[in-house]
Amino acid sequence: MARQRNWWETFFDDLRPAFPRSAPRESLKEARYICRKLGLKKGMKFLDCPCGFGRVSLPLAKMGVRVTGVDITRSYLDEFEKKANRAGVKVRLLRQDMRRISFRDEFDAAANLYTSIGYFESDAQDLLVLKKVFQALRSGGRFMLTTINRDWIILNFESNGWYEVSGIRVLQSRRFDYSRSVMHDEWRFLKDGAEKVHQTTIRLFSFHELRAMLHQVGFVDIEGYGSQDDQPTGRTNRDLYVVARKP
């Protein structure tokens, strides 16, 4: 019997054509924010895990940061590589499950961005991701995690939603499991009469939960923000930015 694939192994290929467009200046703004919060400077080594198609890491590479990107989606890595080649910058890209990385004391900083935590069946697996990042960092290295704020979701939950990008209509049906803080989504991608359907599940976290997990792994100086203006995190902020340091 063939192995049943996990949702994240196929979902992102179909999401990419319908990925909401971001202006280059917005990506640059985010890259500069990451540099400021993580203390990144030209020549430093940065781990983006998972890196996606390099929306933020490519601007960092252009600034002279030595970027290593890890992702499970081959098409995203191919896109990142092509963009880096066109820009004339070098990046190291690896196709790997973020729970399986084996770096040791290598990076000055690392990031897990855009709700790329909570994919797995248990909190222990999400904790493993944080342990792997901790091991990858040098002493004093900083880590940033960004995700949708669970407390905001509770306040603003909508069971259905839709948007359209480049002629692709995306319909979402959502169900929130309050017992486990897990969002169950059915995604329908509609274009030219064809339809693709995906089921996704993401464990959402509040700041206090992520802080406890990071502390358990060994991180210190753990701070949480609700925006790139460093507003305090709370239920009125959709985004959650968490920054921590390896001793």
pLDDT tens column, 122-175: 999 999 999 999 999 999 999 999 999 999 999 999 999 999 998 999 999 999
Closest C-alpha to 166, from 9, 15, 10:
15
Domain count, the chain: 2
Q: Is residue 162 part of a domain?
A: yes
Q: Examine the domain organization and report whether 17 and 113 are in the same domain.
A: yes
Mean pLDDT over each residue of the chain, to the nearest integer: 95
Torsion of CA 49, 57, 92, 122, to 10 degrees: 10
Give the CA distances from residue 247 to residues 35, 109, 190, 219, in Å, rounded to whole numbers and listed in that order: 19, 13, 48, 7
Q: Please report, rounded to a whole number, the percentage of residues in the chain having pLDDT higher than 70.
A: 98
Task: Give the global pTM.
Answer: 0.95
Same domain assignment for residues 175 and 80 = no
Q: What's residue 71's pLDDT?
A: 98
Q: Give the residue numbers spanning the domain of 185.
A: 153-200
In a domain, residue 89? The reply is yes
Q: What is 144-176 written as a DSSP string?
A: EEEEEBHHHHHHH--SEEEEEETTEEEEEEEEE
Q: Please check whether residue 232 lies inside any domain of the structure.
A: yes
Do 96 and 210 reside in the same domain of the chain? Answer: yes
* Residue 91 Cα distances to 37, 55, 65, 75, 108, angstroms: 21, 13, 9, 16, 16
Angle separating helix axes 207-217 and 123-136, nearest 10 degrees: 50
β-pair type (220-225, 92-95): unpaired
Residues comprising the chain, all counted: 247
Tell me, yes or no, whether 188 and 231 share the same domain. no
Q: Both 135 and 95 in a single domain?
A: yes
pLDDT band at 1 (very low <50, low <70, confident <90, very high): very low
- For residues 193 and 237, membership in a common domain is answered with no
Residue 46 half-sphere exposure, CB side, CA atoms within 13 Å? 32
Q: What is the mean pLDDT of residues 34-54?
A: 97
Q: Read off the pLDDT band of 19 (50, 70, 90).
A: confident
